[in-house]
Amino acid sequence: MNTLAVVPAPRTPVLTLDVVADFTCPWSFLGMRRMARALGYLRGLDVPPLLRWHGFRLPRGPVAGPDSPWREYLQTRLSGELTPEIAEQTLEEAGRALGIQFRFERIQRVPDTHEAHRLTALAAQEGLQAVVADAIFRAYFEEGIDIGDPLQLVRIGRAAGLADATILAFEDASGEAGSVQAEEQRLLLMGVRNVPNLLLNGRVLVPGPADVDTYVLALDQAVFPPSPSPADNPRLLN
């Protein structure tokens, strides 16, 4: 009986992006925009990328509470001798290259982002998580809007194109109680301690903020992994 070595046909290229981020983290905003730019260099996908948002509220220290001044909060995110003023200048320069106009002087407080994460989770029902997340980032970092205010989030969600049914679900929080906390607890058990983090197709992890070139390389590895040769990994049909 003849034995035939068969090489499995390549699967249709797909891309799932699992994003772990927080809306008061400017590096998360930069990461989202850099990933969007990297996606512009990607060719060969037969279906649009699927973004799955995983909200992870950053812990606040004793100095920076939920309603703390912005620069006090930013200082808790910095290491070494880097000052908030220098960090803001660096972020502003990086943002301009990505179409972001950081206006830190407009930020009056550092809100709890629970409700912002809940709205973004609901946006998954319409495939608008990326659109809503970007809108919330812009509202906070460019306009200084209080994204802890549910009324402001309703306005942002409507402007981003969310349907009335999704807005109503957001306004009625009874069915979503504890969802953000449960997701955060799951991420903590997985070892997540900071943001941003990006997992591509469940196999390529990009921790922390990265540049566009790094995201391009990660996308290539995630979507088009090396295929084994027939001699290396044949599947035999007798």
Domains of the chain in start order, with CATH, are 4-60+112-237 (3.40.30.10)
Query: How far apart are alpha carbons 150 and 211 in whole angstroms?
Result: 33
Give the mean pLDDT of 34-55. Answer: 88
Count CB-CB contacts under 10 A for residue 13.
Answer: 15
**Residue 179 — pLDDT band, cuts 50, 70, 90?**
confident
Q: How far from chain centre, in Å, is Cα 100?
A: 16
**Residue 60 — pLDDT band, cuts 50, 70, 90?**
low
pLDDT of residue 227: 63
Query: How far apart are alpha carbons 133 and 131 in whole angstroms?
Result: 6
- Judge whether 109 and 69 are in contact, CB under 8 Å: yes
Give the mean pLDDT of 64-73. Answer: 73
**Residue 69 — pLDDT band, cuts 50, 70, 90?**
confident
Residue 3 has pLDDT above 50, yes or no: no
Residue 225 has pLDDT above 90, yes or no: no
**Residue 12 — pLDDT band, cuts 50, 70, 90?**
low
Which parts of the chain fold into alpha helices (H)?
26-39, 70-77, 84-96, 114-122, 129-141, 150-159, 164-171, 179-189, 212-223
26 phi-psi bin (left φ>0, alpha ψ -120 to 50, beta other): alpha
Return the percentage of the chain with pLDDT > 90, whole number. 67
Which parts of 190-232 fold into alpha helices (H)?
212-223
Give the mean pLDDT of 109-133. Answer: 95
Give the mean pLDDT of 78-105. Answer: 95
Mean pLDDT of the chain: 86
- Give the strands of the sheet with 16-21, arranged side by side: 50-55, 16-21, 197-200, 204-207
